[in-house]
Amino acid sequence: MTSTFLADAPTPANHARPGAEPAAAQRWSVQAVQDLLERPFMELLWQAQAVHRAHWPAGDIELATLLSVKTGGCPENCGYCPQSSHFDTGVPAQKLMEVDEVRAAAQAAKSAGATRFCMGAAWRAPKDRDIEKMSELIRTVKDLGLQTCATLGMLQAHQAQALRDAGLDYYNHNLDTAPEYYGDVVSTRSYQDRLDTLRHVRAAGVKVCCGGIIGMGEAPVHRAGLIAQLANLAPYPESVPINSLVPVPGTPLAGSAAVDPLDFVRVIAVARITMPRARVRLSAGREQLGEAVQALCFLAGANSIFYGDRLLVTGNPDVTADQRLLARLGLRGTPAR
Ligand code: SF4
């Protein structure tokens, strides 16, 4: 598909052709991403939808269910997170769940139509004995025929390999925001720590799930900086979760100003344009966005959602509401393979 405005749209230094693999040489400057974010809204959506149609079947939405398998008591101080032990949020700490409990939750998710099951544990960095227990959970979920994903904090190279050996398909580790704004959100680890774990995950042959959060008080240039960081990973992540901050009382970011919903849609569109083959996941904050804005996000190229009435510890639309919304929009869950 070509058009006059598409020819005028900002492009990376080495623009990907439809059908091309994500390429290490595909570089996006922060300015080029910011130029995209500032495009007239309708043109941006048109461009994003054109990129989406060139790389993905229309109407296909991946349904991923997220379960907190070890909750609270985390020594990190991520300013958005109710699971940090630095903040008084009333989230009770819970130890790692038993295999049978996780199997039952994964089976229920599969029965409801999910194809990917993500397990989150509030660790700064798991110990090797934690990796052994997680490996058992991964094998259990994998045996049900679900894709597996885990988010466990910082990993060492041998730990990433052990998770891969257990059958882990994806590892989630978000960059959260631009490097320049990262210190305003968390101070107990560095941006480079995040990049190091992502490197270990890639080296182990596990697919990368990596995105960020919009609405933490960041400036537009920081949103552009986040997307540029993600798009310039070589290769860029297979899954890109874009979250709208869910302000939780007790966290430092509880008083953050709400994001303009159309600005959130813009970020989704730019993620789609800059990472054509990634699953762009409309993640936390869908309840606040409402159904009309979610529909715009799907038009902008989002093709994955978290599915189930809880995220790690915050709310999410329930399964019935999501099934109804997808049906009203003529969308369908990605069939299990
Ligand atoms: S986001 Fe993760 S690492 Fe940060 S405080 Fe929460 S559980 Fe810990």
Considering Cα of 26, then 30, then 33, then 39, what sign does the dihedral take? negative
Catalytic-residue membership of 281? yes
User: Residue 258 falls within a domain, yes or no?
Assistant: yes
User: Residue 8 falls within a domain, yes or no?
Assistant: no
pTM of structure = 0.90
Residue 78 CB less than 6 A away from ligand 1: yes
Alpha-carbon Rg for the chain in angstroms: 19
Residue 315: what pLDDT? 65
User: Residue 64 falls within a domain, yes or no?
Assistant: yes
Q: Are strands 60-70 and 116-121 parallel, antiparallel or unpaired?
A: parallel
User: Residue 216 falls within a domain, yes or no?
Assistant: yes
Catalytic-residue membership of 297? no
Closest atom of ligand 1 to CA, residue 83: 6
8 A C-beta contact, residue 271 and residue 230: yes
Residue 169: exposed, middle, or buried by beta-carbon count in 10 A (0-12, 13-18, 19+)? buried
Output the residue whose Cα is nearest ligand 1's atom 5: 84
Domain that holds residue 70: 27-333
User: Residue 22 falls within a domain, yes or no?
Assistant: no
Structure tokens, 310? 């809880």
Residue 82 CB less than 6 A away from ligand 1: no
User: Residue 167 falls within a domain, yes or no?
Assistant: yes
- Number of structural domains the chain divides into: 1
Catalytic-residue membership of 118? yes
Catalytic, out of 81, 210, 223, 266 = 81
Closest atom of ligand 1 to CA, residue 82: 6
pLDDT in tens, 52-83: 999 999 899 998 888 999 999 999 999 999 99
User: Residue 40 falls within a domain, yes or no?
Assistant: yes
Residue 20: what pLDDT? 40
For every residue of 140-188, DSSP letters joined together read HHHHTT-EEEEE-S---HHHHHHHHHTT--EEE---BS-HHHHHHH--S
User: Residue 256 falls within a domain, yes or no?
Assistant: yes
Residue 118's alpha-carbon distances to 65, 131, 170, 186, 207, in angstroms, are 6, 15, 9, 23, 13
Residue 6: what pLDDT? 43
pLDDT in tens, 96-106: 999 999 999 99
CATH number at residue 143: 3.20.20.70
Residue 84 CB less than 6 A away from ligand 1: yes
Q: How many CA atoms lie within 13 A of 118 on its CB side?
A: 26
Q: What is the pLDDT along the chain (337 residues), one digit of tens a residue?
A: 333 334 455 656 444 433 344 445 468 999 999 999 999 999 999 999 999 999 999 899 998 888 999 999 999 999 999 999 999 888 888 999 999 999 999 999 999 888 899 999 999 999 999 999 999 999 999 999 999 999 999 999 999 999 999 999 999 999 999 999 999 999 999 999 999 999 999 999 999 999 999 999 999 999 999 999 999 999 999 999 999 999 999 999 999 999 999 999 999 999 999 999 999 999 888 888 999 999 999 999 999 998 876 656 666 678 788 889 999 999 998 765 5
Residue 77: what pLDDT? 94
